[in-house]
Structure 1
Amino acid sequence: MLDGRTEGLLSTAEKRASPSNPLTLYLTRLAPSSQLTMRYVLQDAADRLGFEALNLEEIPWHHLQPSDVIALVSTLRSDGYAPNTSSLYVNAVRGVMNEAWRMSLISQEHLLKMRSVKAIAGTRLSQGRNLRRTLIQELMAVCAADPRPQGLRDAAIIAILYGSGMRKSESVNLDLAQLDFTERSLRVTAKGNKELIKYAPGWAFEKLNAWLQLRRSLLVEGQQDDEFLFNRIRRGSHITRERITKHAIYYIARQRGAQVGVKIMPHDFRRSFITRVIEEHDLSIAQKLAHHTNIQTTANYDVRDENERRRAIDRYDL
């Protein structure tokens, strides 16, 4: 796509990135949990734009033109990427270009032209699953049957995700100081660097307390407890003094789901929490508990199965 300008761009990229690099500044503005995701997206975008030979920080992003982003969107469409994924790529490039404009590397006119390029239009039906209460009970049972420390830890993670509706990125960043067992509340730092209070039912805090008691019982005398909530556990059931990662949450959901014969993604716990609140209360309460600014976003999380929709129509008699 950039063959005609590759030589010139490569020469510009010979200077190593500095803290004033627009890419570096863009990533710095993101939450730590989002930095890895957007770095991966930008690396893939760069490869598609012909920069495979360069490190990500060496790429002269401010030389990109609207035609480059149009070509990027075209390749994503050809490869069958969903509209939401296409938007993620386009927004990542826009974010870097915004920083380039702030650094006076590009003009406002150039920035506006870059912003004018649209991602793939359209939507896709949600692939999310509504995890019924009986399925959560089965997940708790397989965790309880696991004699390793992973059993109590995984039960606590699932209980908090399903019981409070928080995102996996919020769960991995939880610290002990953010918990209030009396109020059954969790103070989390959510998307947009917003500090929020989430609540979880008593049974979820019981699972959480069981995990923390086990962790503390394994401390050597004189050792202080970890500040964070969930630890990485290595082979041999060794509880490390390291915080769990988002990838580990993904693995736990897939592994425990496979044990009960269901494919589960971490975000299914949040979808199911919101769906259940809509079922048992109403959409406005679900919006407040999910901390969505737009109520339509909450409505999009409603993943009640098709049988329920059919039953609703069947009750619509003359």
Structure 2
Amino acid sequence: MSLPEVQNPLALYLARLAPSSQLTMKYVLQDAADRLGFVEMDIHEVPWHQLQPGHVIALVAALREDGYAPNTSSLYVNAIRGVTNEAWRQSLISHEHLLKMRSVKPMAGTRLSKGKNIRRTLIRELMDVCAADPRPQGRRDAAIIAILYGSGMRKSESVNLDLAQIDFAERSLQVTGKGNKQLIKYAPTWAFTVLNDWLELRRSYLPEGQSDDAFLFNRIRRGSHITRDRITKHAIYFIAKQRGRQIGMDIMPHDFRRSFITRVIEEHDLSIAQKLAHHTNISTTASYDMRGENERRRAIDRFDL
């Protein structure tokens, strides 16, 4: 019996990523390969280990010319670095080559965040439109919004939540975050009340004798049929968009996390927000601060002589 092939640096790099990140990086690397001239080639067949620093510099320049944001440029460069690291581990390139590739920087600069700070009044409006929906989707969507906003978790974390990971007495939720890290998040009493309302409704739809689902949020088909399938990240996206339209607002799922962090910064401080957001660097937490221009003006107005 022979060992499986382990020399493809791209396959090794992708294997280290979460499934959702694999999809993103496959798209990024496919676009990078196309821009580098490998248009007709499968990305697994591209000789990534033969790339030179000049290729990556040209790629960054092309992204800049096409108007890509600095963060997007970083995504491309980091993806190529990840594959390059694996090529070095497989002795396909020298350490000197690795250092040269690592020396290439993505484009400098930042862009203002396009996210939103959803104020408490708007969260209440969202909960009201969900409550007015007599279908099972109403209670499920209210529970999703309550958990996303009440705990500040990411949509991918909410999708993967299981009942066994929830402590209703402590109002805590154990999630697997970025980097495959196990984290404990907390949510307020009102969020758990909304969550319990959804779970009670779901159980009421179960045929007699059948056990509850292991996961938290279900897909619901037309005709209000609650499936026994776990909801997807794409469904969370559409729920946020649909419920946002009902209150006249364009909402992305990550806006709930931004709003959670902003509120904690407002009512407590940046260090508490960092701990609740589980950010390694406090500068990352600061970038989530969505307080508006009026708040900044008020801060300046307080500088009286």
Do both proteins adopt the same fold according to a TM-score greater than 0.5, normalized to the shorter chain? Answer: yes
The aligned residue for residue 77 of structure 2 is: 90
The offset of 1:236, in angstroms, is 2.9
Q: Deviations over 1:104-160 (max 9, x none)?
A: 111111111111111010111111211100000001011111222221111111110
Distance 1:224 1:39, change over 3 A: farther
Distance 1:94 1:131, change over 3 A: same
The aligned residue for residue 168 of structure 2 is: 181
Q: Deviations over 1:266-317 (max 9, x none)?
A: 1111111111111111112111111122222211211111111112212222
The offset of 1:247, in angstroms, is 1.7
Q: Deviations over 1:11-69 (max 9, x none)?
A: xxxxxx95542111111111223222222211222222222212222222212221221
Aligned residue among 30, 36, 41 for 1:49: 36
Q: Give the percent of matched residue pairs that are identical in Structure 1 and Structure 2.
A: 81
Distance 1:138 1:120, change over 3 A: same
The aligned residue for residue 75 of structure 1 is: 62
Whole-angstrom distance in 1 between the partners of 2:33 and 2:231 = 29
The aligned residue for residue 213 of structure 1 is: 200
Aligned residue among 169, 177, 191 for 1:204: 191
Whole-angstrom distance in 2 between the partners of 1:65 and 1:232 = 46
The aligned residue for residue 13 of structure 2 is: 26
After the TM superposition, which residues 115-126 of structure 1 pair with which residues of structure 2 at under 5 Å, given as runs? 115-126=102-113
Q: Deviations over 1:168-187 (max 9, x none)?
A: 11111111110010000000
Whole-angstrom distance in 1 between the partners of 2:162 and 2:250 = 29
After the TM superposition, which residues 224-263 of structure 1 pair with which residues of structure 2 at under 5 Å, given as runs? 224-263=211-250
Residue type at the aligned position of 2:212 = D
The aligned residue for residue 114 of structure 1 is: 101
Matched residue count? 302
The offset of 1:217, in angstroms, is 1.6
Question: CA RMSD for the aligned pairs?
Answer: 1.5
Distance 1:237 1:55, change over 3 A: farther
Whole-angstrom distance in 1 between the partners of 2:47 and 2:200 = 51
Alignment of 1:293 with 2:280, yes or no, is yes
Whole-angstrom distance in 2 between the partners of 1:104 and 1:235 = 54
The aligned residue for residue 268 of structure 1 is: 255
| TM-score (norm: length of structure 1) | 0.91
Distance 1:303 1:63, change over 3 A: same
Q: Deviations over 1:240-266 (max 9, x none)?
A: 222222222221111111111111111
SS in 1 for 2:39: coil
Aligned residue among 272, 279, 282 for 2:269: 282
Residue type at the aligned position of 2:202 = R
SS in 1 for 2:60: helix
Q: Deviations over 1:185-226 (max 9, x none)?
A: 000111111111100001111111111112222222333322
In the alignment, structure 1 segments of 5+ residues that lack a partner are: 1-16
Aligned residue among 107, 114, 117 for 1:127: 114
The aligned residue for residue 194 of structure 1 is: 181
The aligned residue for residue 58 of structure 1 is: 45
SS in 2 for 1:46: helix
Whole-angstrom distance in 2 between the partners of 1:204 and 1:19 = 46
Whole-angstrom distance in 2 between the partners of 1:213 and 1:31 = 32
Residue type at the aligned position of 2:45 = E
| TM-score (norm: length of structure 2) | 0.94
Whole-angstrom distance in 2 between the partners of 1:168 and 1:231 = 14
- Report the more deviating stretch, 235-244 or 296-305: 235-244
